[in-house]
Structure 1
Amino acid sequence: MTGPEREQLVFDLPVRPAFGREDFFVAEANAMAVAQIDMWRAWPGSKFSLVGPAGAGKTHLAHVWQEESGGRIVAATALAQAEIPDLADRPVCVEDVGAIAGDADGEAALFHLHNLVLAEGHALLMTAHVPPAQLGLQLPDLASRLMGTQFVRLSAPDDALLGAVMAKLFHDRQLDPAPQVIPYLVRRMPRSFASARRLVGEIDRQALSRRSRVTLPLARETLSRLEPETDDD
């Protein structure tokens, strides 16, 4: 492969995030949430909320639930423009509910979706950064409906879990990092799955462009240049 052709791969073949059950690592930080996803048919009131910081794995678990329940996933910010009856014909997950706090149209749409999906006998999953009682919703009827929703909090990954995720991400890209790379990164990187995906992706791009193995100096340099960001769960 010539130099220009190899360089083209860096831009044309991004790795898509893996959201399958087999790609989700279970550890102390998320074991309770995984158990609740497994028993989704027994949720009190047929609804549940996953709570935690960005990058804790809420979106990944939502996709696991979607696969197991046959449901669909919708962003809370898209509800005001959505056809609520169409959404309510199967189980549904509403992501980032806190993003519509104070948005009258968004809150009204969630209120109608909540009532209709449960009336149809389907399950409702929600994700948020804070528990239902702390969402700051302004529509009293909606706030009261969600107030008693059972929830579980996902913590940021610990060292063992973050290290396992990094190893899997490198493996997915057919990269064999030097032994010191993952321990070094785990001790210094932002503690989220989203940051792990972003960091490994950037290391991969740098290694390709330099035709280099994934060495500790390369990992150190890449980490130092990576700007902080808020990312998906």
Structure 2
Amino acid sequence: MTAARSPGPARSPGPEQLALDLPVRAATGRQAFLVAPANEEALTRIDGWRDWPEGKLALAGPPGAGKSHLAAVWASETGATVLTAPALPDAGAVEPRAVVVERAGRVAGDARAEERLLHLHNRVVSEGGRLLLVAREAPARWPVALPDLASRLAATQVARIGPPDDALLAAVLVKLFEDRQIAAPPALVSWLVPRMERSFAAAERLVAALDARALATGRPVGQKLAREVLEDAAPGIDPEGER
């Protein structure tokens, strides 16, 4: 049971190969977004952007849950400007029609960033634009110091992405393998799901670790390699057991 990588240059034989840290191109279009109960409500809210209360919405969820993917889908469809906190520009330099602020919670504790987010918020809302704030936590939980910003964040409705169920976790693994041009057989994915930590971030770490070890050793991505990676990640567990 092994996963085949897409055809490419032949590798030199050897017990230990140099693992190149090559960039991974993640598919971020709407068709690549994996819809499941954990994110269906968030997708519905994003699709209803014309009806967002006060023209704003916060998208919250754990690392690797697909928040940035969903935000990228919305930005592509609306032509939104995508910013990343805390390095926000002056509000006057931003087209207010549609704006995404990635990692928005990082403004907390940064006086300049908090002030700039406040001015950006006020400009977008006052001019009838749309503002999407992307973060791990709901805005009301960000420890911001600026009272005016805190009150506006508390009034922002939140769309949440929850933890994955088995079907979504399996689909995420398949996508992560595909992003790295690894064709993982369904049997390997089914074997991994009940044995791995149940989170999006863990899926990213697992696939990255499998890819790195396969490249370093010249071995195929299969159940034997996966067993070793899982054991290294959590020494003492029984990889043949289920979590």
TM above 0.5: yes
Distance 2:179 2:113 in 1: 38
How does 1:107-126 map onto structure 2 within 5 Å? 107-126=114-133
Amino acid at match of 1:162: L
Displacement of 1:12: 5.9
Matched, 1:72 2:81: yes
SS of residue in 2 equivalent to 1:3: coil
Structure 1: runs of 5 or more not aligned: 228-233
Q: Distance in 2 between matches of 1:131 and 1:214?
A: 38
1:30 positional shift: 0.3
Distance in structure 1 (CA, Å) of the matches to 2:85 and 2:181: 36
Alignment counterpart, residue 26 of structure 2, candidates 8, 17, 29:
17
Q: How far apart are the structure 1 equivalents of 2:26 and 2:200?
A: 11
Query: Which residue of 157, 166, 170 maps to 2:173?
Result: 166
1:38 is matched with 47
2:189 is the counterpart of 1:182: yes
Higher relative contact order (CA 8 A, sep 6+): 2
2:228 counterpart residue number: 221
User: CA-atom RMSD, angstroms?
Assistant: 2.5
Given that 2:172 and 2:200 are in contact with CA atoms closer than 8 Å, whether structure 1 keeps it comes out as yes
SS in 2 for 1:78: coil
2:154 matches 1:147: yes
Instruction: Determine if contact 1:46/1:123 at 8 Å carries over to the other structure.
Output: yes
What is the CA-CA distance between 1:65 and the residue it aligns to? 1.1
**Which has the larger displacement, 218-227 or 138-147?**
218-227
Where does the alignment leave 5 or more consecutive residues of structure 2 unmatched? 1-9, 235-243
Identity percentage over the alignment? 49
Residue 240 (structure 2) pairs with residue 205 (structure 1): no
TM-score, scaled relative to structure 2: 0.81
Q: Does 1:62 align with 2:50?
A: no
Checking the alignment, whether the CA contact within 8 Å between 1:76 and 1:106 is kept in structure 2 is yes
How many residue pairs are counted as aligned between the two chains?
224
| Deviation at residue 63 of structure 1 after TM alignment | 1.0
- Say if 1:107 and 1:38 are closer, same or farther in 2 by CA, change over 3 A: same
Q: CA deviation at 1:74?
A: 1.5
Richer in helix (by share): 1
Aligned equivalents of 1:98, 1:117: Cα separation in 2: 18
Distance 1:190 1:74 in 2: 31
Query: In structure 1, how many angstroms separate the alpha carbons of the residues matched to 2:137 and 2:148?
Result: 19
TM-score (ref. length: structure 1):
0.84
Tell me if structure 2 keeps the 8 A contact 1:49–1:128.
yes
Change (3 A) 1:170 1:134: closer
Corresponding residue SS for 1:125:
strand
Q: CA deviation at 1:185?
A: 2.2
Aligned to 2:99: 92
Q: In structure 2, what residue type is equivalent to 1:61?
A: L
Distance 2:146 2:46 in 1: 28
8 A Cα contact 1:178 1:214, kept in partner: no
Q: What whole-Å deviation, never above 9, does each CA across 1:158-213 have from its counterpart, x for those lacking one?
A: 11101012123324444343554212322233333343233223322322333333
Deviation at 1:77, TM superposition (A): 0.9
Distance 1:149 1:129 in 2: 15
User: Which residue does the alignment assign to 1:48?
Assistant: 57
**Distance in 1 (alpha carbons) for counterparts of 2:212 and 2:148:** 49
